[in-house]
Amino acid sequence: MMASAGDRILMLLENNPFPQDGRVRREANTLAAAGYRVSVVAPRGPGQPWRERVGEVEVYRFPAPPGANGFLGYLWEYVCSMTAALLLSLFIFLRRGFDVIHAHNPPDTFALVAALFKPFGVRFVFDHHDLSPEMYYARFLGKGNRLVYRALVLFEQFTCRLADHVIATNRSYRAVEMGRGGVPEGRITVVRNGPELDRVRTVPPDPALRARGETIIGFVGDMGYHDGVDYLLRALKHLVCDLGRTDFFCVIIGRGAAWAGLKALAARLELDPYVWFTGWVSSADLRRYLSTADICVDPDPSNPFTDRSTMIKMTEYMAFGKPIVAFDLTEHRVTAREAAVYARPNDELDFARQIARLMDDPEKRREMGQVGRRRVEAELAWPHQERHLLAAYEALRKRAGAPARPLKLLKSEVTKTSADQGAKSVGREVPWVSEGRS
């Protein structure tokens, strides 16, 4: 069958609801604004209907499987999700059709769904959010099964080679796709996960939080076992006990599989007077808390996964004009440059020293915050990234022999409107989802 022009796109998403997943929402809105017909299959969040229209995007949802813990739990989660995604994909294909499957990993097993539709002329775009093999080892703290790791590598290679086009989130991922995945450079487009500046903006600080410490330290993101919040807590212990600093308060925003254990660790380290675990908060609260913070932190430790991954929280901090303390990882430096100070990888005492250094230098903090904000505005914000996304689809259309489309860039009002409409459909504001990696 002749390849299609690619005007109708089906996006597959497993690890976040829609429109709460920021990257998928931005990409779907950009493509819809450019004239594509976009459908999204995603897990259902609390209070969400199984089917609705969010802005210009048709959304179909499946029941989210129970939270997984351990390899067998993740395997069951993915089997349930893949089965549901396949059934909904068949329903959409018969009802309105699609020309492109655009799969967001993890997992890489969405390629199995795409493979079933390839004989019907459907093209496959792989949006590579995470290095699944390296993430597996990081999630299990380096104690994963070698056979499972190898299976994940094979699935990644199968996905890369099946894809008609691959979207990488940074150049480190592109190098993996070209090397391990065997993808020609011409079939890869780097689309970074830039923030939407109309959603990431400073507001008046929160007076109650401001009163809790002379220096406010902020963290926002997922709290899995591999996300490094335990490194942050031990660094704060060094800040108190080794550096003698008690003139701070740390607000830790987010949730995840390790959340309860991290709260217990903070209690064992006698840090309760200095830290506040908020859980996930509304967008309005998050803006207030990050606007109040004097220093923001990214404690992701160095490993083969984090060294190559771009952390979304870094660009969010920069968009808020906040100085950052982070471990010295390759993609941290690519993203933040002079907007961060870098501790020796995995050295918690040095992380504490870098925090103390910024605590004592408000002028340095101000300069770093300005550098970060300017970099986001000039290079990293979503309007700069959507050009690359639309170019990737133009390359796909060109290979299919379809006429070129005029490039229409998404305006900030489109993203805001679509997000607001999605919020109304569930009766509340779309919560802030800091996915952790881009």
Query: Residue 31 maps to which CATH number?
Result: 3.40.50.2000
Measured CA to CA, the distance from residue 148 to residue 152 in angstroms comes to: 6
Any domain includes 67 = yes
Statement to judge: residues 145 and 267 lie in one domain: no
Any domain includes 202 = no
Statement to judge: residues 316 and 419 lie in one domain: no
Statement to judge: residues 393 and 370 lie in one domain: no
Measured CA to CA, the distance from residue 39 to residue 12 in angstroms comes to: 9
Place of tokens 């931005």: 26
**In a structure prediction context, what are the per-residue pLDDT tens digits for the chain, which is 438 residues long?**
333 455 999 999 998 999 999 999 999 999 999 999 999 999 999 999 999 999 999 999 999 877 666 666 677 778 888 999 999 999 999 999 999 999 999 989 999 999 999 999 999 999 999 999 999 888 887 778 899 899 999 999 999 999 999 999 999 999 999 999 999 999 999 999 999 888 888 999 999 999 999 999 999 999 988 899 999 999 999 999 999 999 999 999 999 989 999 999 999 999 999 999 999 999 899 999 999 999 999 999 999 999 999 999 999 999 999 999 999 999 999 999 999 999 999 999 999 999 999 999 999 999 999 999 999 999 999 999 999 999 999 999 888 777 766 655 544 433 343 334 443 333 334 344 444 455
The pLDDT assigned to 362 comes to: 97
Q: Which of 32, 7, 6, 4 is nearest to 415 (CA)?
A: 32
Statement to judge: residues 131 and 240 lie in one domain: no
Count each helix (H run) and each strand (E run) in the chain, helices first: 16, 14
Measured CA to CA, the distance from residue 237 to residue 243 in angstroms comes to: 9
The pLDDT assigned to 328 comes to: 98
Statement to judge: residues 388 and 364 lie in one domain: no
Statement to judge: residues 35 and 113 lie in one domain: yes
Any domain includes 2 = no
Statement to judge: residues 297 and 395 lie in one domain: no
Any domain includes 436 = no
22 Cβ contact list (under 8 Å, min separation 6): 193, 196, 312, 433, 434, 435
Q: For residue 199, what are its two tokens?
A: 């959603």
Contact 280, 17 (CB under 8 A): no
Contact 433, 46 (CB under 8 A): no
Statement to judge: residues 211 and 90 lie in one domain: no
Order of strands across the sheet that contains 275-279: 275-279, 248-253, 215-220, 295-298, 324-327, 340-343
Measured CA to CA, the distance from residue 333 to residue 303 in angstroms comes to: 15
**Region for 242 from its dihedrals, namely left if φ exceeds 0, alpha if ψ lies in -120 to 50, beta otherwise:** alpha
Place of tokens 């819809």: 32
Q: For residue 301, what are its two tokens?
A: 């430790």
Q: Which of 7, 89, 78 is nearest to 41 (CA)?
A: 89
Any domain includes 77 = yes
Residue 353 has, within 13 A of its CA and on its CB side, a CA count of 9
Any domain includes 3 = no
The 10s digit of each residue's pLDDT in 6-44 is 599 999 999 899 999 999 999 999 999 999 999 999 999
Statement to judge: residues 324 and 215 lie in one domain: yes
Its domain, for residue 317, covers: 207-378
- Considering only CA atoms, give the Rg of the chain: 21
The pLDDT assigned to 198 comes to: 83
Q: Which of 171, 228, 173 is nearest to 346 (CA)?
A: 228
The pLDDT assigned to 407 comes to: 58
Q: Which of 144, 165, 184 is nearest to 303 (CA)?
A: 144
47 Cβ contact list (under 8 Å, min separation 6): 426, 427, 428
Statement to judge: residues 22 and 100 lie in one domain: yes
Any domain includes 438 = no
- Judging by DSSP bridges, how do beta strands 100-104 and 57-63 pair with one another? unpaired
Statement to judge: residues 347 and 217 lie in one domain: yes
The pLDDT assigned to 406 comes to: 61
176-195 as b/e: b if 16+ CB within 10 A: bbbeebebeeebbbbbbbbb
Statement to judge: residues 84 and 162 lie in one domain: yes
Measure CA 55 to chain center.
21
Alpha carbon separation from 124 to 56, 113, 161, 169 (Å, rounded): 22, 10, 10, 17
Q: pTM value? A: 0.88
Number of domains in the chain: 2
Any domain includes 435 = no
Question: Mapping DSSP to helix (H, G, I), strand (E, B) and coil, where does residue 26 land?
Answer: helix
